[in-house]
Amino acid sequence: MLNLNPGAQTDNSLQSYSSDSSSIAIPTTNSLALSSPNLSQNSASSSSPLGMTGLTAEYFDRDDLTDSKLVRIDATIDFDWVYGAPSEQISPDTFSARWTGQVQADHSETYRFYTHSDDGVRLWVNHQLLIDHWADHAVTEESGTIALVAGQKYDLKLEYRENGGHAVAKLLWSSPSQQKEIVPQSRLSPLNTTIVAGSRSESEIAKSADSFIDSIGIATHLRYTDTSYGRYSDVVEPRLRELGIRHIRDGGNDPGLFEKLNRLAQFGVRSTLVMDPRDGITPANAVEILQKVLPSVEAVEGPNEWDVNPELTYKGKPFPEGVREYQTDLYNAIKQNSATASISVLAPSMAIPEYGAKLGSLASVIDGGNMHSYAGGNLPTQDFDWRWMPQTRLISGDKPIVVTETGWHNAITDTTRQKGVSEQVAAKYIPRLFLESFNQGIKRTFLYELMDEWARAEQESSFGLIRADGTPKPAFYALRNLTYLLNDTGGSTASGALSYSMTGNTENVHHTLLQKSNGEFYLVLWLQTISTDADVSQSVTLNFEGSIRQATTYLTNQSIDPTGSYSSLNQLNLKVSDAPIVVKLAT
C-alpha cells in the first residue's frame, strides 16, 4: 500500500518559498526515465498515477546515482537536510537523488528556473539542460531560462549529489507574470511511476504489441559482398525473414544493393538509408537514388558520425558547418520532390553525443533525431537519461528519436574501444534493449548488426546476431522467439488496461505491458541488472484484481514453447531473471 510520510523541514532562510513537503513512499526500482511508458497509470487521461501531484524522487546511497534505496513522491523540491539524509536507509554525506516528472506553466512566456544546492546539481526542462553545476560547492543559486506555453506539460528532471557537510536541494521558478517561488506541488506531476510494484492493485494502460514489434530494426551491410553478407540468398534473406523484423538500416549507392532492398520490401521489410558523401550520395543526386528504391525506403539519415572524422568535408567545409549545410540541402531536395516528400529525414548521427552542441539545432531540417547509443558493454540504455537523450535533443528538439546504431560485440578479448560481452550475455541484453528503448519512447531502435562480417576475434567483426559462418548466436534465437510470440497480424489496436500489482523482491524489476488486437495481454518482465553467463532470478508475485481466465508463461531466451499454463487465478508466482519472461494473460 501507499504510505503517507512527512517530508523534510524547509530551510528557514527561504521560508517564503516553502510549501508542504509531504511524500508518498513507493517501492524501489532501478530506473525512472522521463519518457518511460512501461510504468503505471490509472487512466488514459492522466500521465501521473492516481492523479498525483509532485515529482517522483529516487534516492541513492552513493553520490553517483547508484545503489538505489528509496523511491517516493515528493510534493516539491524544497529540502534542507542540514547534516542529515532523506531517510534512515541512506547515509549522510555521500548520497544522491533524482527527481523526475512534468511541470506545467500558467503563462506563455519565458520562465527562469533556479536551484539552491549544496553540493552538485543538474536540471533539465523539456530535455534541455538548463543548469549544470555537478562539482562540490557550498549553498549556491544557479539559474537558466526556457520558453514555456501555458497549460502544456514539460518533462522535468533534477539530479542532486551530496558529498559531505551541509545538504540542500531546492527548485524555484519565476517569470514576468510569476513571482519567484518554490515550484509548487500543484504544477508538478510524477511521470509514469512504477507503483504497480506494491500490494495495492493499479490499472496500467497497455501499449499495442504491434507497435513494439514495429519499433525493432537491425543494421545490415547488404552491399559488402566480399564479407559474410555475400551469402545473401542462403543466409541473409532467410535469416532476416526468420527474425520477423520489419525494418533494416543500410546505405550506399549500388545497383546490387537496390535490388536486394526492393526484394526485401516484397516481404514487408522496409529500409532506412544513410545518405553520406563517402558513398557518392549528395543532395543533388539523392532524389534520383531514392527513386530506385521507393518500394523499400521509408527513411533516410544524414552523414554518419562526421563528428569524429575531421578530414571529411562538404563544399569544402568540415564538421560541424559541412554537416549542417549537407543536412539542409538534403532535406530540401527530398521534401521538394513529390516522389520522395513522404520519406522521413533523420538527423546525422554523432559518435560522441556531446559534439551535438557544436552542430546545434537542426529541428527545421529533420523529421526525427538520431542516436548511436552504444552501451560499451554495460546495461541496455546505459546513460540514456543524463547523456544521450539531452545531448541528442540539442539537435532534434522535440522531434521523435530513432536509435540507428547500438549493440554489443562478442570479441571479449578485444578491449581497444568498447568492452565486449559473451554471446550468452548478449542474448540477455538484446531483447531487453528493445524493451527498454520502447519504454523510453524511442520511435525505433536498430541493433548493430545482423551478421559478423568476418570470422575474426576483433570488435568490428563481432557485433552480429549471426556468426560469419552463417550459424545463429543465442541472441538471434532470443530475439526471434520474442518477435514470434508478440507478433500481431491483427494490427496495432490496443486500448485495454490491466489492474494488478507486484509483490516480493521487486528491486530492479522492469516490465512492459502489451496487448494484441484479440484482447490478450502480454506482460514482459526482466531484471535490469548487469548480466553474466550465470543465471540469476528473484521471486515476484503478480496479484490481479479479479480473476484471470488463463495465464501462460514463456522464457523466450530458451524456447518459444510455454513453460507453464494456469487457469482461473488471481495470483501468480514467478521467477524473474535478467532474461525476459513473458506472461500471456486472457481476462
pLDDT at 283: 97
Q: If DSSP codes are grouped into helix, strand and coil, which group holds residue 503?
A: strand
pLDDT at 202: 64
Residues 346 and 466 in one domain: yes
* HSE toward the beta carbon, residue 548, CA cutoff 13 A: 25
* 400: preceding bond cis by omega (within 30 degrees): no
Measured CA to CA, the distance from residue 513 to residue 515 in angstroms comes to 7
Residues 222 and 168 in one domain: no
381 falls within a domain: yes
What's the CATH code of the domain at 457? 3.20.20.80
Residues 476 and 499 in one domain: no
Q: Is it the case that residue 115 has pLDDT exceeding 50?
A: yes
Q: Is it the case that residue 124 has pLDDT exceeding 80?
A: yes
**Residue 560, C-alpha cell as written in the block:** 518459444
207 falls within a domain: no
**Residue 382, C-alpha cell as written in the block:** 546505459
Strands 167-175 and 178-182: antiparallel
Average pLDDT over residues 28-36: 29
Q: Is it the case that residue 36 has pLDDT exceeding 90?
A: no
> Where among 471, 486, 501 does a domain terminate?
486
Cβ neighbours of residue 448 closer than 8 Å, sequence gap 6 or more: 218, 219, 374, 405, 406, 407, 463
Q: What is the DSSP string of 124-160?
A: EETTEEEEEE-S--SSEEEEEEEEE-TT-EEEEEEEE
Backbone dihedral angles phi then psi of residue 241, each to the nearest 5 degrees: -70, -35
202 falls within a domain: no
203 falls within a domain: no
Q: How far is Cα of residue 210 from the mean position of the Cα atoms in its chain? A: 18
Predicted structure pTM score: 0.71
Measured CA to CA, the distance from residue 20 to residue 304 in angstroms comes to 50
578 falls within a domain: yes
H or E stretch covering 99: strand 94-104
205 falls within a domain: no
Looking at the structure of the chain, the number of domains it has is 3
Residues 316 and 450 in one domain: yes
User: What do you get for the CA distance between the two ends of the chain, in Å?
Assistant: 24
Residues 309 and 432 in one domain: yes
Nearest Cα neighbor of 7 from 65, 63, 80, 68 is 80
pLDDT at 51: 44
H or E stretch covering 500: strand 497-504
CA angle 429, 434, 440 (to 5 degrees): 115
**Residue 507, C-alpha cell as written in the block:** 528491486
DSSP state, residue 299: E
Q: Is it the case that residue 174 has pLDDT exceeding 90?
A: yes
Contact 416, 409 (CB under 8 A): no
Nearest Cα neighbor of 104 from 190, 179, 188, 41 is 188
pLDDT at 493: 67
pLDDT at 429: 98
Residues 552 and 480 in one domain: no
Q: Is it the case that residue 238 has pLDDT exceeding 90?
A: yes
What's the CATH code of the domain at 563? 2.60.40
126 falls within a domain: yes
Residue 306: Cβ-neighbour burial (10 angstroms; 0-12, 13-18, 19+): buried
Residues 51 and 30 in one domain: yes
Residue 311: Cβ-neighbour burial (10 angstroms; 0-12, 13-18, 19+): exposed
Residues 232 and 331 in one domain: yes
Measured CA to CA, the distance from residue 229 to residue 248 in angstroms comes to 14
Contact 585, 521 (CB under 8 A): yes
Q: How large a percentage of the chain has pLDDT more than 70?
A: 88
Contact 350, 387 (CB under 8 A): no
Most confident of 16-20, 101-105, 144-148, 324-328: 324-328
* 423: preceding bond cis by omega (within 30 degrees): no
> Where among 486, 512, 545 does a domain terminate?
486
Measured CA to CA, the distance from residue 211 to residue 405 in angstroms comes to 20
* Confidence band for 7, pLDDT divided at 50, 70 and 90: very low
Tens digit of pLDDT for each residue in 40-64? 222 222 334 334 578 988 899 999 8
Residues 464 and 512 in one domain: no
Which of 77-81, 195-199, 380-384 has the least mean pLDDT? 195-199
Measured CA to CA, the distance from residue 190 to residue 157 in angstroms comes to 10
Backbone dihedral angles phi then psi of residue 227, each to the nearest 5 degrees: -115, -165
Residues 474 and 539 in one domain: no
**Residue 414, C-alpha cell as written in the block:** 578485444
H or E stretch covering 60: strand 55-60
Tens digit of pLDDT for each residue in 241-262? 999 999 999 999 999 999 999 9
Nearest Cα neighbor of 397 from 347, 345, 344 is 347
Q: Is it the case that residue 12 has pLDDT exceeding 80?
A: no
Strands 562-577 and 188-189: unpaired
H or E stretch covering 71: strand 68-74
Residue with cell 559534439: 355
pLDDT at 564: 96
Measured CA to CA, the distance from residue 171 to residue 411 in angstroms comes to 46
Tell me the sheet residues that pair with 548: 569
Tens digit of pLDDT for each residue in 477-501? 999 999 999 999 877 666 688 999 8
Q: Show the domain range for 291.
A: 214-486
Residues 73 and 185 in one domain: yes
pLDDT at 191: 62
pLDDT at 31: 29
What's the CATH code of the domain at 57? 2.60.120.1560
Nearest Cα neighbor of 365 from 323, 328, 325, 320 is 328
386 falls within a domain: yes
Helix extents (H) in 196-282: 209-214, 237-243, 255-265
Q: If DSSP codes are grouped into helix, strand and coil, which group holds residue 63?
A: coil
> Where among 432, 466, 486 does a domain terminate?
486
Residues 448 and 533 in one domain: no
Which of 103-112, 276-285, 355-364, 547-556 has the least mean pLDDT? 103-112
Residue 82: Cβ-neighbour burial (10 angstroms; 0-12, 13-18, 19+): middle
Looking at residue 247, its amino acid is H
**Residue 452, C-alpha cell as written in the block:** 559478423
What totals of helices (H) and strands (E) does the chain contain, helices first?
9, 30
- Quote the crossing angle between the two packed helices 474-486 and 423-439, to the nearest 10°: 30
* Confidence band for 220, pLDDT divided at 50, 70 and 90: very high
Measured CA to CA, the distance from residue 470 to residue 473 in angstroms comes to 9
